[in-house]
Homo-oligomer: A and B are copies of this chain.
């Protein structure tokens, strides 16, 4: 990825004149280019210390050049980007280590414990919660453990419909390899093009097709993890009563308990038919009620998401090429995938119509499906013109949906002041509740990082105080840690610390991340 932006450098582009005009009117713009001359701190690990690692896993598995280290410095949250754009590379790792096997990973961990080196597991580098910003104080150095070479489809089981994937596979590579067997994983988060299988598991990712395919944690049936005290292999059965489900502990552990080296996932047959269509509802609340009804009737389509009034307006305005006229209220995207979707589509459509929905046809649905991974590029283009943009998300039960929505929105607007645009959508639904995903845009102040951190804190307070989770699918990292402590309380924190002490007694794995 681009070291200061999301995604492929070739995709970086300026805002079109029309969009810039629109942003100017709402928020105001000012050219704010990224610093181009940057300097990466020298590696703090000696040749001697690195030499023993090279002996263990091979010379070419250990990189110390500036560009390799720069590319593994932090993740892709707006604070991460603001730091990268200002030339701040203080968190650069001392080396990038690329193991080729589970045994290599175990060797790296043994070496790290011996030399007291902090280890930051690195998959796609797409964390938006500070998951790659481990604390290095108290350590001789810090390495980025890049799993890029563990990128194979290990095996498929077409009877059980499972597959074993290595953690360094990116989303598209995993889908491509599975497609050769007629299989799909069905996990499509916005980070799909860059994020990795190991990262999906370690952060409890949830994708845009979660209504049909479930969250990533629903897909995982087995895991292999290297820890400083040895290997953990889980997955004797689809489900069992053999004590606490330790898969659910490995998932969400964000590299603090071990390094995931294999993931066994449930797969499905590639869908023969895929249809995405748009619907409109008079209000966000009406659309949300329709989603609740579908979820509680067992009638969820593969994809279902609805934008609130503000997000609908902005989306339509910025997609004027596909027609912004003739739609008011809130747009819902509904996707049907399967061997044959006609029957289920008809059922879902009947419910949506009966609850006030108007079918807008497939054009807008298809446009959403085609552009679904592109939004992060827009954030960079907006940062280029002095507009602070970030997203944050939560989940709650249906009966608290409106309360949480208003509380978070108001917290952001109050913190960021006049001219702030807060957009929201619901994109993951359950029988008992849903996610709420906010996009915020505001004019950058002179200290944009502090400006954002204050707004983020206000929004996070609002989430936890209204009983919602601090994160539905972005994970904890370093950014959400204080609120995780409030969400799970001191006993929950003690449990996490007990787990950490048991498998990583020297604390070399992602220090400072996740565990309060």
Whether A296 sits at the interface, judged by CB under 8 Å, is yes
Instruction: Determine whether the beta carbon of B237 is less than 8 Å from that of A244.
Output: no
A485-497 vs B, CB cutoff 8 Å, 1 = contact: the mask equals 0011111101111
Instruction: Determine whether the beta carbon of A246 is less than 8 Å from that of B495.
Output: yes
Interface hits, A414-452 → B, CB 8 Å: 428, 430-434
A109 contacts which chain B residues (CB < 8 A)? Answer: none
How many angstroms from the CA of A30 to the CA of B476 in the assembled complex?
Answer: 64
Which stretch of A44-52, A169-177, A309-317, A393-401 is in the interface?
A: A393-401
Instruction: Determine whether the beta carbon of B215 is less than 8 Å from that of A472.
Output: no
Residue of B nearest to A246 (CB): B492
The 8 Å CB contact of A237, one of B397, B475, B495, is: B397
Instruction: Determine whether the beta carbon of A237 is less than 8 Å from that of B162.
Output: no
Q: How far is the CB of A224 from chain B (nearest CB, A)?
A: 11
Instruction: Determine whether the beta carbon of B239 is less than 8 Å from that of A244.
Output: no
How many angstroms from the CA of A250 to the CA of B250 in the assembled complex?
Answer: 15
Interface centre among A225, A231, A244, A394 (most CB of B within 10 A): A244
Interface hits, A452-507 → B, CB 8 Å: 464, 467-476, 480, 484, 487-492, 494-503
Whether A240 sits at the interface, judged by CB under 8 Å, is yes
The 8 Å CB contact of A231, one of B161, B252, B491, B502, is: B491
Residue of B nearest to A400 (CB): B160
Residue of B nearest to A292 (CB): B159
A282-322 vs B, CB cutoff 8 Å, 1 = contact: the mask equals 00000000001000100000000000000000000000000
Interface centre among A236, A249, A473, A490 (most CB of B within 10 A): A236
Instruction: Determine whether the beta carbon of B240 is less than 8 Å from that of A244.
Output: no
How many angstroms from the CA of A410 to the CA of B50 in the assembled complex?
Answer: 54
Instruction: Determine whether the beta carbon of B239 is less than 8 Å from that of A474.
Output: no
Also in contact, A503 and B491, with CB within 8 A (given A203-B241, A242-B469, A244-B252)? yes
A475 contacts which chain B residues (CB < 8 A)? Answer: 241-243
A19 contacts which chain B residues (CB < 8 A)? Answer: none
Residue of B nearest to A247 (CB): B248
Whether A363 sits at the interface, judged by CB under 8 Å, is no
Instruction: Determine whether the beta carbon of B468 is less than 8 Å from that of A237.
Output: yes
Instruction: Determine whether the beta carbon of B487 is less than 8 Å from that of A242.
Output: yes
Also in contact, A494 and B229, with CB within 8 A (given A242-B484, A243-B253, A432-B221)? yes
Instruction: Determine whether the beta carbon of A430 is less than 8 Å from that of B239.
Output: yes
A395 contacts which chain B residues (CB < 8 A)? Answer: 236-240
Q: How far is the CB of A310 from chain B (nearest CB, A)?
A: 23
Instruction: Determine whether the beta carbon of B396 is less than 8 Å from that of A204.
Output: no
Instruction: Determine whether the beta carbon of A399 is less than 8 Å from that of B160.
Output: yes
Q: How far is the CB of A237 from chain B (nearest CB, A)?
A: 4
Instruction: Determine whether the beta carbon of B242 is less than 8 Å from that of A471.
Output: yes
Whether A59 sits at the interface, judged by CB under 8 Å, is no
Starting from the known contacts A240-B469, A241-B471, A244-B496, 19 additional A-B residue pairs (CB-CB under 8 Å) come to A160-B398, A161-B398, A203-B241, A204-B245, A231-B489, A232-B489, A236-B470, A238-B433, A239-B430, A242-B252, A242-B488, A243-B514, A244-B250, A245-B251, A246-B492, A248-B249, A258-B491, A491-B503, A498-B502
22 A–B contacts from the bound complex (CB under 8 Å): A162-B432, A204-B245, A229-B490, A230-B491, A232-B489, A234-B488, A237-B394, A237-B395, A237-B472, A238-B431, A239-B395, A241-B473, A242-B471, A242-B476, A242-B488, A243-B476, A243-B488, A244-B249, A248-B248, A269-B296, A498-B503, A499-B499
